[in-house]
Structure 1
Amino acid sequence: MSQTVRGVVARAKGAPVEVVPIVIPDPGPGEVVVAIAACGVCHTDLHYREGGINDEFPFLLGHEAAGVVESVGEGVDSVAVGDFVVLNWRAVCGQCRACKRGQPQYCFSTFNATQKMTLEDGTELTPALGIGAFADKTLVHAGQCTKVDPSADPAVVGLLGCGVMAGLGAAVNTGGVTRGQSVAVIGCGGVGDAAIMGARLAGASKIIAVDRDDKKLEWATDLGATHTINSRSTDAVEAIKEITGGFGADVVIDAVGRPETYKQAFYARDLAGTVVLVGVPTPDMTLEMPLVDFFSHGGSLKSSWYGDCLPERDFPTYVDLYQQGRLPLEKFVTERIGIDDVEKAFETMHRGEVLRSVVIL
């Protein structure tokens, strides 16, 4: 039997979000209903509300979440009722060309629930990133659930569902940072700071944080940056080169995703160095650069999708490191809020006052 719970819905572009009753169907084949314990407020949710993803309103927002499996549909054997899970938007299919060549972290055909959650009048909802977790409960595909240590704080580990994993993975998976390397991270919001944490975890010797906000640079230092650059008053490229002996960093991560920051990343790397783009550009952005510079600098130019993570491999590993005190994920939780406070949290996030607000349910 379907059930009615609270959910945060964006009905129209730019309109304030509303907490309204939503209807959750019983799980069908391959589906799971999860009782949400906590869900982070991510920029992607704001992009949905602003129509920056698509126009498939109304949206059920929220996607950085952890909770407990309440019920499972036919054929589900990967999780069971009572399992504590972190939700993800890369439910690996196992059949696409990426999966078949042994690269499931690039899966091109990820799964979502087949059935739709709805408003009480039957209007179908579009769940953010196929999750929709600013709600007491949500319906997802079983592959979107990754079991982790049930003693972990859901407000903390749920953030692996998007931004924190994107940053960690940009450094560790995509950038391949290794011991002794120099790393520069441009943009020190949640994703950039997670990349800094990942670089520290991987053993980078110099970790250079670049931002235009001194408060964000303070956060970056607390999370592992060894050097900071305020690009509002300093030429970031020249400063990075000065810190690295005139050469440039081995790996430069652009966590902003603008033409200006990508150029900074490109020219701030050492010869044969690596640039990782993890910040998401808008469709209208273009880049014009001399082609010869791409040839003469060598190295690698990479884009990082969700930190090139494999949830079933990476989530339990990072949760264990957090539980051991070796990965301070708790530092990303700036405040814990109620479900009625999401609109206010968007405003706080837009002003750059938090790393993450987390909705506790």
Structure 2
Amino acid sequence: MAQEVRGVIAPGKDEPVRIETIVVPDPGPGEAVVRIQACGVCHTDLHYKQGGISDDFPFLLGHEAAGVVESVGDDVTDVRPGDFVILNWRAVCGKCRACLRGRPWYCFDTHNAKQRMTLTDGTELSPALGIGAFAEKTLVAAGQCTKVDPGVSAQVAGLLGCGVMAGIGAAINTGEVGRGDSVAVIGCGGVGDAAIAGSRLAGAAKIIAVDIDDRKLEKARSMGATHTVNSRENDPVEAIRDLTGGFGADVVIEAVGRPETYRQAFYARDLAGTVVLVGVPTPEMKLELPLLDVFGRGGSLKSSWYGDCLPSRDFPMLIDLHLQGRLDLGAFVTETIRLDEVEKAFERMHEGDVLRSVVVL
């Protein structure tokens, strides 16, 4: 029987979000209903609100979430009611060419729930990243649910659902940061700080944080940065080279998603070094680089999709590291808020005052 719950929707482009009654259907084959315990406020949600991702309004916002499975549909065997899970937006199919080649983190046919949640008047909602977790309950594909140790707080666990996993994965999975490497991270928001934390976890010897905001650079140090560069005051390429013996960093992670910062990353890496783009550009952005430089500098230019993570592999591992005290996920939570405070959280995000506001239900 369908249920009615409270949820936060974006009704139209740049309109204030509001709380509405959401109708959540019973799970069909391959689907699950999850009772949400906590959900982070991610910049991607703001992109949805601003119409920067699509115009398929109204959106049911929220996607960095953790909660408890309430019910499952037919043919669901990996999770069952009562399981504590983190939601992910890349449920792998197991059948596409990437999955069949043993690279499911690149799955080219990820999927979401087939049914739509609606408003009480029958208006279909578009769930953010196929999740829609600024709600008391949500409907997802069962493959979007990853079981983890229930001893972890939902407030921190849900952050692996997007930004924190993207940053950690950009360092560990995509950049393949290793012991003794030098790493530079350009852009010290939530994703950049997670890349710093991931680089420290991987054993990097030198981690250089680059940003234009001294407040963010101070936070980056607490996450594991060994050096900081204010790129409003200093040339970041020269600063990174100076800090690495004149050579450049082994791995440079660009967590902004702009042509000018990507160029900085490209020239701040050592010969045969690696550039990882994890910041998300907008459709109109163009990049121009001398092709001879691309050839002559060698190495790898990589894009990182969701930290190239495999949720079933990475989420339980990172939660275990957190519970062992080796990865402080709690450091990413700036504040906890209510559902009716999401609009204010977007305003604080603009001001650069928070890493993550987390809605607690």
Distance in 1 between residues matched to 2:5 and 2:178, nearest whole Å:
46
Indicate the SS of the match to 2:115.
coil
Whole-angstrom CA distance in 2 between matches of 1:289 and 1:307:
25
Counterparts of 1:176 and 1:230, CA distance in 2: 26
Q: In structure 1, what residue type is equivalent to 2:291?
A: L
Residue 54 of structure 2 is matched in structure 1 by: 54
One-letter identity of the residue aligned with 1:269: R
Alpha-carbon shift at residue 91 of structure 1 (Å) = 0.4
Amino acid at match of 1:17: V
Counterpart residue identity of residue 76, structure 1: V
Is 1:79 matched up with 2:97?
Answer: no
Q: How far apart are 1:105 and its partner, in Å?
A: 0.3
> 1:192-271, aligned counterparts within 5 Å?
192-271=192-271
Give, in whole Å, the separation in 2 of the partners of 1:122 and 1:163: 32
Counterparts of 2:353 and 2:108 in 1: how far apart (Å)? Answer: 35
- What is the rounded CA distance, in whole Å, between the counterparts of 1:289 and 1:205 in structure 2? 30
Gaps of 5+ in 2: none
Q: Within 2, Cα distance between the matches of 1:324 and 1:201?
A: 13
Matched, 1:180 2:180: yes
**1:289 Cα deviation (Å)?**
1.5
The 5-angstrom pairing of residues 112-123 of structure 1 reads 112-123=112-123
Tell me how far 1:257 sits from its aligned partner. Answer: 0.6
2:158 partner amino acid:
G
1:303 maps to 303
Amino acid at match of 2:347: E
Distance in 2, matches of 1:207 and 1:151, equals 31
The count of corresponding residues between Structure 1 and Structure 2 is 361
Whole-angstrom distance in 1 between the partners of 2:349 and 2:68: 27
Q: In the aligned structure 1, how far is the partner of 2:65 from the partner of 2:31?
A: 17
Instruction: Tell me by how many angstroms 1:222 deviates.
Output: 0.2
| 1:15 equivalent in structure 2 | 15
Q: Is 1:2 paired with 2:2?
A: yes
Counterpart code for 1:213: D
TM-score (norm 1): 1.00
Residue equivalent to 1:343: 343
SS at the partner of 1:264? helix
What amino acid does structure 1 have at the position aligned with 2:200?
Answer: R
Deviation at residue 255 of structure 1 after TM alignment: 0.1
**What does the per-residue CA deviation read over 1:208-230, in whole Å, with 9 as the maximum and x for residues that have no partner?**
00000000001100000000000
**Equivalence map 1:19-58=2 (5 Å):** 19-58=19-58
In 2, the alpha carbon distance for the partners of 1:259 and 1:115 equals: 39
Specify the code of the residue in structure 2 equivalent to 1:63.
Answer: H
Secondary structure at the aligned position of 2:44 is classed as helix
Code of the residue aligned with 2:217 in structure 1: it is L
Deviations 1:68-110 (A, max 9, x none): 0000001111001000000000101000110011100000101
Distance of 1:8 and 1:236 partners within structure 2? 40
In the TM superposition, what whole-angstrom CA distance separates every residue of 1:7-65 from its partner, at most 9, and x where no partner exists?
00001000000011010000000000000000000000000000000000000000000
Query: What is the DSSP-based 3-state SS (H/G/I as helix, E as strand, rest coil) of the residue aligned with 2:341?
Result: helix
Amino acid across the alignment from 1:15: E
State the 1:111 CA deviation.
Answer: 1.3
Code of the residue aligned with 1:331 in structure 2: it is A
Q: Provide the residue aligned with 1:103 in structure 2.
A: 103
Measured after TM superposition, the shift of residue 164 of structure 1 is 0.1
Q: 2:120 aligned with 1:130, yes or no?
A: no
Determine what percentage of the aligned residue pairs are the same residue.
75
The amino acid across from 2:180 in the alignment is G
Name the counterpart of 2:322. Answer: 322
Q: CA deviation at 1:268?
A: 0.1
Q: Aligned with 1:229: secondary structure?
A: strand
Give, in angstroms, the shift of residue 186 of structure 1: 0.1
- 5+ residue gaps, structure 1: none
Separation (CA, whole Å) in 2 of partners of 1:77 and 1:294: 47
Q: CA deviation at 1:133?
A: 0.1
Amino acid at match of 1:82: G
Q: 1:80, 1:31 → 2: CA distance?
A: 11
SS of 2:160's partner is helix
Q: Secondary structure at the match of 1:302?
A: strand
Q: Aligned-pair distance for 1:187? A: 0.1
- Secondary structure at 1:197 match in 2: helix
Aligned partners of 1:211, 1:88: CA distance in 2, in Å? 29
Quick one: distance in 2 between partners of 1:274 and 1:290?
Answer: 17
What is the TM-score normalised by the length of structure 2? 1.00
